Amino acid sequence: MSRSLAEPWRLGGVSIPNRVVLAPLAGIGNWFVRLQAKRHGAGLVVSEMVSSFAVHYRNERTCRELLRIHPEEHPVAVQLFGHDPDVMASAAERVAAAGADLIDINMGCPVPKVCKTGAGAALLEEPERAVALARAAAGGSGLPVTVKLRSGQRPGDVSGLEVARRLVFDGGVVGISIHPRHASQRHKGAPDYELARGLVQELPVPVLISGGLHTAEQVRRGFEQTGAAGVLLARGSLGNPWLFEQVLGRRASNPGRAEILAELDWVLERAVEHLGEDRATRYLRKFYPWYVEQLGGGRGLQASLQTAPTLAAARALLHGEALARAA
């Protein structure tokens, strides 16, 4: 019997309508990006990586902006990172109060400024601490806890698999997301889906896969090849939320120019709602390249958008380009 990504399932008792998940996207996955993924079909959405220390010490911007959850996002997981179990428990309690349905802990981020604190992929070398963090998050929040990790730190290192086992059998986590590349690869090279398949077959909890999933065909192939419980869409969905619909079989075609511009207008409006006009103008500069690529725009448009002084100016550039191409 063939499996379907459109099938509902449960993760730690939380009902999820399908098996396509928005992955945590550092510096990007705020409430409106998650809501966008939901609008296009994501069954579960995960927040960008949030510092447990910032939440514990009640950093005002972190708590106001990164813990903001829209009523239409659910089910939603908030991803925390950190190295101190007591701080993790405190942060998890605050995340639960903010309305999250699950907590995810990052144990795979390869960025040096994260790893040097003992968090992220550094935890692959500290399984006891990893287990303590998972237990602390569950104890502090009362919510189901999942973990996202890498297969290892460097070529040939599969320490992430043993950490995953410990997290499930000793830490009580209800699910594992595996990015089957070692941390030193970052996002380069082919993910080792056979390695992920072995973990899927071994663990008694749902295992999801991440990495290298940029097209609907790649997503379906990875899902079938590994037997994973679900898939996490990350970089492949940036500027392309229609990928969720394509993966779920709800559409076959790519979006047209008018649809892309309308979606980007929605993003601009939500960014202003989230950050105010001035901050949104700067923040959205990281978004424009993804949508301009979808539009088939060139370097000139990209450069102009990066220096647009206002959102009105950015809109004029985008819609002016569209009119010029339509003429």
Catalytic residue, from 109, 124, 164, 238: name it: 109
Residues 6 and 248: beta-carbon distance below 8 Å:
yes
Through-space distance between the first and last CA atoms of the chain, rounded to whole angstroms: 51
Q: Which residues pair with 149 in a beta bridge?
A: 107, 178
Q: How far is CA 65 from the centre of its chain?
A: 16
Q: Where are the beta strands (DSSP E) in 183-262?
A: 207-210, 230-233
Bond from prior residue into 241 cis (ω within 30 degrees of 0): no
Segment holding 14, helix H or strand E: strand 14-16
CA distance readout (Å), 198 to 195, 218, 228, 322 = 5, 19, 10, 48
Residues 307 and 320: beta-carbon distance below 8 Å:
no
Does 109 qualify as catalytic in the annotation? Answer: yes
DSSP single-letter state for residue 12: T
Q: Which residues are catalytic?
A: 109
